Structure 1
Amino acid sequence: MLVAAAVCPCPPLLVPEVAAGAAPELDAARAACSDALGVVAASRPDLLVVVGPAGQDGTGSHPQGAGGGFGGFGVDLEVRLGPAGDDGARERELPPSLAVAAWLLDRTDWAAAPVRGLGVGERLAGERCARAGRELASEAGRVALLVMGDGSACRTLKAPGYLDGRAVHFDAAAARALGAADTTALLALDEQSAYELKVAGRAPWQVLAGAAQGAGLGGALLYEEAPYGVGYFVAAWS
């Protein structure tokens, strides 16, 4: 059963070494992520599953101890998902969203429960996302999620996806749903609009919605901004 969740953005810029001179611009987001993870740790889960966007279709599992890094962004920094696993886990490369999650967990000295990762295709249908979430929630008596994902990348003229007038309204709906732990509203987010608006978080958020159905969790929105023209949200559910 799902007992808590933290929702965090997943840009590599969240890692100060990647952001370099621009690192202070996301200090508030980093602090909010730490607060959200504190809520998850306080729930004393038996299992923590990190969920993040990875590729276009399907899902992929990443065991505890799987490694990743930020060499593709010009930074020689390696991370590992939770404590070291077996030798096979070392060979599983984390997608960027889960590498950022691993960095967040390292920063909070996470050692409260076993950890594993789930990469979710950004075009995975909403019902499949919800089904994956329900399956996650049944894996242990007390399950917690760390859900990585960004809002629209079309909020300004200089945004990665340029300016799209629909972006602010899509992000506002997503922020309301995340802050209220509204699973119905999250599952209602339109898949095609999310794809067109370059919303990396839609599928992971809908996995969360599936996991939380019937759990009776409440939510709090801890951060909502659009630096660099991309919607970033942090929320805590418990």
Structure 2
Amino acid sequence: MPLVAAAVCPHPPLLVPEVAGAAAAELDDLRAACDSALTRLLAAQPDDLLLVGAGPETTAFSAADHGSLRPYGVDRAVRLWKTTCAGSERLPLSLTIGAWLVGRTGTELPRLARSVAADAPPSQCAALGADLVHRAERRTALLVLGDGSACRGEKSPGYADPRAEAYDDGVARALADADADALLGLDEVVSAQLKAAGRAPWQVLAGAVRAVGGDWRGELLHHTAPYGVAYLVACWEPA
């Protein structure tokens, strides 16, 4: 079975202390939860790490590609993996923060990355997840990057929406229960209205786990909504 574990983390730029500045301590608990999720992911002893996050289009990236924190006030490149090869500044925000989280672990494991179009329908997301699993030849751990709704209050990026809290609670239950069907049931239109950047990547995860088969167990490590955006951290492992 090539998929040995999965972790779900959010991707706010403020996770990076240099970006957050004086407010860095406000996300200490979230940062610690992400670190714990990565520790659990590596404990499954994968041969490869595969990062999946939303982007403008569905595409694969080379190991030397990188993202940048420049749009968020810090002139710093974040490489996916290899630093000795020429790559391009191509990573979307989700994978840039994912690469930063992996970099904090100090692991030398090979890592690959795929973006999924933010507006990809659930069927395409599930098919991508299944394809990633079927193509994997070595033990692979999946790091899935995605935020919940961005409509949790009048000061949130998407302003207040009364549906947002129930939506995020439903996602939290699905992640806690490793419920692939519940994730695949997330409505793409409602998710877009609530500005939930994680919908498509979560459905890639669900498609991958469904393709692998067997029983999986989940654990929700974190669920908060500072700044009006829901941040969820979870781990999935074969039962």
TM-score range, shorter chain: over 0.9
Give the Cα–Cα distance (whole angstroms) in 2 for the partners of residues 22 and 15 of structure 1: 11
Equivalent residues of 2:78, 2:99 under 8 A apart: yes
Could you tell me the percent identity over the aligned residues?
50
The unaligned stretches of length 5 or more in structure 2 are none
Check 1:85–1:180 CA distance in 2 against 1; reply closer, same or farther (3 A cut): farther
Give the superposition deviation at 1:177.
Answer: 0.4
State the shift of 1:2 in Å: 1.6
* Paired positions, count: 233
Shift of 1:85: 6.0
Please name the residue that 1:190 is paired with. Answer: 187
Counterparts of 1:57-206 in structure 2, within 5 Å, are 58-84=57-83, 86-87=85-86, 90-111=87-108, 113-138=109-134, 139-206=136-203
**TM-score, structure 1 normalization:** 0.95
Give me the TM-score of the superposition, normalised by structure 2: 0.94
Structure 2 CA distance for aligned equivalents of residues 92 and 19 of structure 1: 22
Match of 2:44 in 1: 43
Please give the root-mean-square deviation of Cα atoms over the aligned residues, in Å.
1.2
CA distance in 1, matches of 2:138, 2:70: 37
Shift of 1:146: 0.5
Q: Following TM superposition, by how much is the alpha carbon of 1:215 offset from its aligned partner in structure 2, in angstroms?
A: 4.2
Runs of 5+ consecutive residues of structure 1 not aligned to the other structure: none
Counterparts of 1:95 and 1:135 in 2: how far apart (Å)?
A: 21
Deviation sequence 1:34-71 (CA, Å, 0-9, x none)? 1111111011112211011112xx40111212111111
Using the TM superposition, give the Cα deviation of residue 121 of structure 1 relative to its aligned residue in structure 2, in angstroms. Answer: 1.1
Q: Is 161-170 or 133-142 further displaced after alignment?
A: 133-142
Displacement of 1:3 in angstroms is 1.1
* 4+ residue runs over 4 A deviation: none
Q: What is the correspondence of 1:216-235 to structure 2 with a 5 Å cutoff?
A: 216-235=215-234
For the residues of structure 1 that align with 2:19 and 2:139, how far apart are their CA atoms?
A: 34
**C-alpha displacement of 1:216:** 2.3
For 1:83 and 1:41, the matched residues in 2 are separated by: 19
